[in-house]
Amino acid sequence: MTTGIKAMKRLPKILCSTLLIGTAALALVACSGNSRVRQPAALVPVSNQFDLQPVWSTSIGSSEPYNFHPVVAGDAVYVASHSGNLAKINLQSGAKAWEVSVPENLAVGPGSDGRTTVAVTTKGLVYAYDDTGKPLWNVGVGSEVLSEPVVASGIVVIRTLDNRFVGLDAQTGARKWIYQRQQSALSLRVGYGMLPINNEVIVTGFAGGRFGMIAIANGGLIWETPVSFPKGFSEIERLNDVSARPSMEGDTLCAVSYQGRIGCAQARTGNLLWFKDYSSYTGTAQSPELVFSANEKSYVTAFATKDGTQVWENVQMTFRDVGEPLAIGKVLLMGDAQGYVHALSQADGKMLARIRHDSSPITAAPIAVGGLILIQSQGGKIAAYSPK
């Protein structure tokens, strides 16, 4: 037990309440220890070399303590809050086309293809609406859901916390397929991001340092690849999950595991091109030549996509709990726990600009679409910015 407690004290504060462990006191000890050592770095002065000009902003309501992500489909962005607000917002104007109240609290943000929009409650009920906000159906999936749903090719893909993937008919809610993963002895109680590709497949991570590709049409596993392997003596030290959403650029997929490795693979086969020891729960972003990630200390690192050579590292945001990154143009964007959005140079990692979105954490990756940058905070503010 002593070894386990020491390992828990090394976990980042953001994960203290998300571990699936049987002893509540163990988590409490670890979290109280973290609060004394994880002091966020002071903001480094920066003279903005470009600006993100506000175009519109609105509020959907708080998502805390959960991590909600907006989703874009067509000319609209779909957003949700923990209290059950679900809305369709015009991408260019920020006007709400419709807003409904889901009957129960939500555990995860929406999924949508522009025709069917779904949200999942804290009790594992999936509610679906058509593109006018009219209710279509609701079904239970028998377990808690913390991963964002994917809606593609007439199928709603739900990933449950007990390692099941469920494919539901987007029009009726009828179950079309189910894919069951083996339960792990210990895993992170977080949402496992799913990356849809061409409305045909999803790429996602698994417990135990693995990630893979699943067919949307039938739930079949196309390939599965280990990016890292558990190591250590205690179950906590052996936590090794690929929980963050993988990224893709061209025909290269990259993924990172917590307490494990970062690596890139061929998208078609899953064959690993390279891997390096690394640890992150916020995921990766890619440009044609580089893959970017932030570790649990919020050190931001760039690796060469072709061979994994470290190109640069920025430690200016230590313990600011930066969120999932976005690589766009020549800039890397990411929010932090105090509501700031930081812009780094992809070439050398230098700080180029910073704005204050609001005062609550930004864990979801910014979204680049239609010449705009969309950002949603856990406090519920969603805004569109125009890069200038």
The pair phi, psi for residue 173, each rounded to 5°, is 85, 0
Q: Output b/e per residue, 144-158; b: 16+ Cβ within 10 A.
A: bbbbbbbbbbbbbbb
pTM of the predicted model as reported, rounded to 2 decimal places: 0.88
pLDDT given for residue 208 in this prediction: 85
pLDDT value of residue 243: 86
Amino acid 21: pLDDT: 32
Please report, in tens digits, the pLDDT of each residue of the chain (388 residues total).
333 333 333 444 444 434 443 322 233 334 434 445 789 999 999 999 999 999 999 999 999 888 899 999 999 999 999 999 999 999 999 999 999 999 999 999 899 999 999 999 989 999 999 999 999 999 999 999 999 999 999 999 999 988 899 999 999 999 999 999 877 655 566 778 999 999 999 999 998 889 999 999 999 999 999 987 766 566 666 567 888 999 999 999 999 998 889 999 999 999 999 999 999 999 999 999 999 999 999 999 999 999 999 999 999 999 999 999 999 999 999 999 999 999 999 999 999 999 999 999 999 999 999 999 999 999 999 999 999 8
* Contacts of 174 by beta carbon, 8 Å cutoff, 6+ apart: 168
DSSP string for residues in 318-376: TTS-----EEETTEEEEE-TTSEEEEEETTT--EEEEEE--SS---SPPEEETTEEEEE
Task: Quickly tell me which residue has 């679900």 as its tokens.
Answer: 86
- pLDDT for position 17: 39
CA distance 127 to 88: 15
Would you state the pLDDT for residue 66? 87
pLDDT of the residue at 38: 82
pLDDT of residue 232: 58
Per DSSP, 157 falls in state E
